[in-house]
Amino acid sequence: MTMKHRLPAALLALLLATPLLGPQAHADEASDDIAIANSLAAMLRAGRAVISANQDRINDPALGPKGLDGKTVLSQAVINYRTSTQSDPLATDPASRQGKLLRLEMDAIVSVVDSQQERINQPGVGFKGFIPAVFSRLVGETFTSAAGGSAGMSVTAPANLVRNRRWRPDALESRVISEKFLAPGWHRGQAYTQTTALDAGGKEFRMLMPEYYAASCLTCHGGPKGSIDITGYPREGAAEGDLGGVISIRLSH
């Protein structure tokens, strides 16, 4: 933006500090929301990948302490995040909305993993039920409650695939799954976003990001359909590349 007339610095500062007004301001706000939601999702994926990479160790009945405490998982998640986003989560301004929310999420990762130490380190037991989906669910819950209404994060799935009934899709998630993500022509991997004005005042931004089954997911989510997997749930009979889940992020203004 170029200024034709020079504004006194104080007035300029006031203008910049004015609550978002014009169309440009709305566009900036929307792109901020998208950037924040993308970074929250990237951190969830970065943390989940650490659990995934350590799954065999977690499941090893011969190992006691795994050295996989909250701080260790977070430091590996930070490395994964840097690789996937080419940016440093620790360098975000702690006073910014993104910096605050990302730090709440990193704190959630640490506290969730620390809270699971007894389970992770239990000797003599193979499969302990601590898997990426459980990690994601707990991080989402912890983050959402810490954010106190300003943000929310969960992982859901198409209704016919949902294992944990608490994570059944809400009305918007169901509609986006059937009308967008499963529709022919939806660009694979593309997220859905919307901002709506709330009756109670304020606005709510939602971002839903589709996730697809990889070959590694099929030991539990693949076939034969209905057979019981290691976690005790019936397999869905899914194929590699099928829509398997949705990361759902909400930001409130």
Binding positions for ligand HEC, rule: CB under 6 A: 131, 133-134, 137, 155-157, 161-164, 167, 211, 213-214, 216-217, 219-221, 229-231, 233, 244-245
Nearer to ligand HEC by Cβ, of 92 and 132: the residue is 132
CA distances from 200 to 151, 203, 247, 252 (A): 16, 9, 26, 12
| CA dihedral over 181, 188, 220, 80, signed as positive or negative | negative
CA-based nearest residue to 212, from 229, 234, 187, 194: 187
What are the two backbone dihedrals, phi and then psi, of residue 150, each rounded to the nearest 5 degrees?
A: -80, -20
Nearer to ligand HEC by Cβ, of 77 and 133: the residue is 133
| CA dihedral over 90, 96, 102, 104, signed as positive or negative | positive
CB of 39 to ligand HEC, least distance (A): 20
CA distances from 252 to 46, 203, 214, 240 (A): 24, 6, 32, 35
CB of 135 to ligand HEC, least distance (A): 9
CB of 218 to ligand HEC, least distance (A): 8
Nearer to ligand HEC by Cβ, of 44 and 220: the residue is 220
Nearer to ligand HEC by Cβ, of 108 and 217: the residue is 217
CB of 129 to ligand HEC, least distance (A): 7
| CA dihedral over 36, 37, 42, 48, signed as positive or negative | positive
Residue nearest to ligand HEC (CB): 245
Nearer to ligand HEC by Cβ, of 105 and 236: the residue is 236
Helix (H) or strand (E) holding 211: strand 203-212
CB of 244 to ligand HEC, least distance (A): 4
